[in-house]
Amino acid sequence: MWIKQEQYYWRVIIAFGITLFSLNSVLFIFLGQANADEGWYLYASKLVYAGQYPYQDFAYTQTPLLPYIYGITQNLFSQSIYFGRVTSVIFSTFAYILSLIVARNHGGKMASGITSLLGATFTFGIYYQSITKTYALTTFFFILAILALSSNFKQDLKVILSTIFVLLATLTRLSALFFALPFIVYAFITSNAKYKLIMVAICLVALSWFLALALPNIDAAEWGLLTHHSSQWGNISIAGRITQIIDFRIPLLFFTFPSYFILWVTLFIMGYNHLKIYIKHYFTVFIAIAGLFFFAITNLLSGGFYAEYFVPIIFISFPISSIAYTKIFHRQKKYSKTVMNVVLLSTLVLGLIRGGFYLIDISGGHAPVDEIRNVSTIISENSTTRDRIFVLEALWLAIESNREVMPNMTMAQFSFYDTDTKTANHLHLINGQIALSYIENSIPKIIILTELDWGILRNTSFYEDIVASLGKNYRLIYSDTNFGQNSSHIEVYVRRTDK
């Protein structure tokens, strides 16, 4: 009877977790802060289905799979930030459900129930997996790889499936390659000669597709995948970078995710004496831990650094932590169980209230996407689908208004690269001289500038000429505050017809 009651209890917990996760995801679809990355990922999704290729025809700063997947919904329905976010939530929800299955397979209903609560209260991660970025798709492939490797399939099939999934993750986000390495090494070690050849063939297919896109303009691919990211270090020396990692980046992670670190430390201390037993019986889980460790190191060393990079790591840690919690909990005495329960409850509460709700944005009096749609309506009313627009940070507007941007302006504010014109064109980017030529010759019908854009243009030697040409060739038709990711000022100009 007690066992049946416990099973029923955890089923209720799982149902509650799924409901809460779904509600939080929907909340962030509609009220989640606009993120500049959403514009360029969705615009890239538009371009690939128009017959263009990443790196060859437009700048792109990740491995190339995401636009081909997200472009499906953009083409089946319509270009919309909402559809992009719905696509992310579909993948994040599947990843969440699959994580419950992984936890149940190794730790039973209790582990699955704990995983459901950890995932549902991780509001910081839910936000970043509800908007159009690489995290939802990457996490989905990560958990698929773990599920495949821990399934009851034959060993050869398990390693082939896990290899495919980690390669798909790598084709979504370059740093996922380091998560993939332990899986691929394990697959090769445990396979016979026949299946080693099959896995080599699979790896070659993935590599060949990537190279087919990258090699025709290897400079643009190198800029998008390496230079763009590494250049964000600036001129800091190796010693300075190490110091920044130790003094700033690691402390930032502890500050952002304190409860999860405390949970992991508690589990390690409580289960340390049985570590050898766990490694022996749950070896595939430790492969996943190794992959997450290498993925974390890679993101710590990246030129740009944001806590959001670690969302897939935290999310994938939930079934692993829940399995460990379940196995360790039953070995503890009453006092130790109380400590574990307090730590777990604190993790859930802090994840919920100290997580991502600050990323809800109603500063402009409207939902973030509705703010973008309001400005897009003005653009649509003052231009046709044949007209091009000049837009940097606010690239969302090109999606919602269904307008083409000026050549080489597909990466939002990162489309601007302070280099010579020949190099900028070769990399599918713009510089101050190109921006001036567009405005000076009245090529775009509409020009949209935010505070961030003005800051970028102000640092060029062409700034005064840009301002003069803008005043001469365009007139201001809209101005507002509290717009976009930075809740900043935005201005919309239309080409003059009275010249």
DSSP 165-178: HHHHHHTT-TTHHH
Distance from the Cα of residue 489 to its chain's centroid:
26
> Residue 5: its pLDDT value, please?
66
Report d(CA 314, CA 308) in Å as an integer. Answer: 10
Extract the tokens encoding 155.
């060993």
Shortest CA distance to 137 belongs to which of 199, 90, 97, 184? 90
Choose among 18, 115, 120: nearest CA to 349: 120
Count CA atoms closer than 13 A to 293's CA, side-chain side.
Answer: 8
- Is the CA virtual torsion 123, 125, 126, 127 positive or negative? positive
The whole-number pLDDT of residue 16 equals 96
Please measure the distance between the N-terminal and C-terminal CA atoms of the chain and give it in whole angstroms: 86
Enumerate residues 6+ apart whose C-beta is below 8 A from 92.
25, 126, 129, 130, 135, 136, 139, 140
The predicted structure's pLDDT at residue 335:
87
Q: Where are the domains positioned within the chain?
A: 2-359, 368-495
pLDDT digit of tens for each residue in the chain (499 aa)?
555 666 788 999 999 999 999 999 999 999 999 999 999 999 999 999 999 999 999 999 999 999 999 999 888 888 899 999 999 999 999 999 999 999 999 889 999 999 999 999 999 999 999 999 999 999 999 999 999 998 888 888 999 999 999 999 999 999 999 999 999 999 999 888 888 899 999 999 999 999 999 999 999 999 999 999 888 898 899 999 999 999 999 999 999 999 999 999 999 888 887 766 766 677 888 899 999 999 999 999 999 899 999 999 999 999 999 999 998 888 888 888 899 999 999 999 999 888 888 899 887 778 999 999 999 999 999 999 999 999 999 999 999 999 999 999 999 999 999 999 999 999 999 999 999 999 999 999 999 999 999 999 999 999 999 999 999 999 999 999 889 888 889 999 999 986 5
Name the token pair of 359: 């990323």
Quote the pLDDT of residue 4: 62
Residue 273 sits at φ, ψ, to 5 deg, of -65, -20
Of the candidates 35, 66, 71, the residue with the CA atom closest to the CA atom of residue 396: 35
Q: Which amino acid is at 152?
A: N
**Token pair belonging to 375:** 């400005």
For residue 98, give both structure tokens.
């699959």
Per-residue model confidence (pLDDT) at position 498: 66
Give the H or E element holding residue 188. Answer: helix 176-190
User: What does 102-168 look like in DSSP terms, one character per residue?
Assistant: HHHHHHHHHHHHHHHHHHHT-HHHHHHTTSSSSHHHHHHHHHHHHHHHTSSS-HHHHHHHHHHHHHH
Q: Per DSSP, what are the bridge partners of residue 211?
A: none
The pair of structure tokens assigned to 228 is 């763009």
CA gap 247, 175 in Å, rounded: 23
Backbone angles phi, psi at 475, to 5 degrees: -125, 145
Torsion of Cα atoms, 144 then 168 then 52 then 225, to 10°:
120
Q: What is the pLDDT of residue 246?
A: 94
Q: Using CA atoms, how far apart are residues 172 and 289, in angstroms rounded to an integer? A: 20
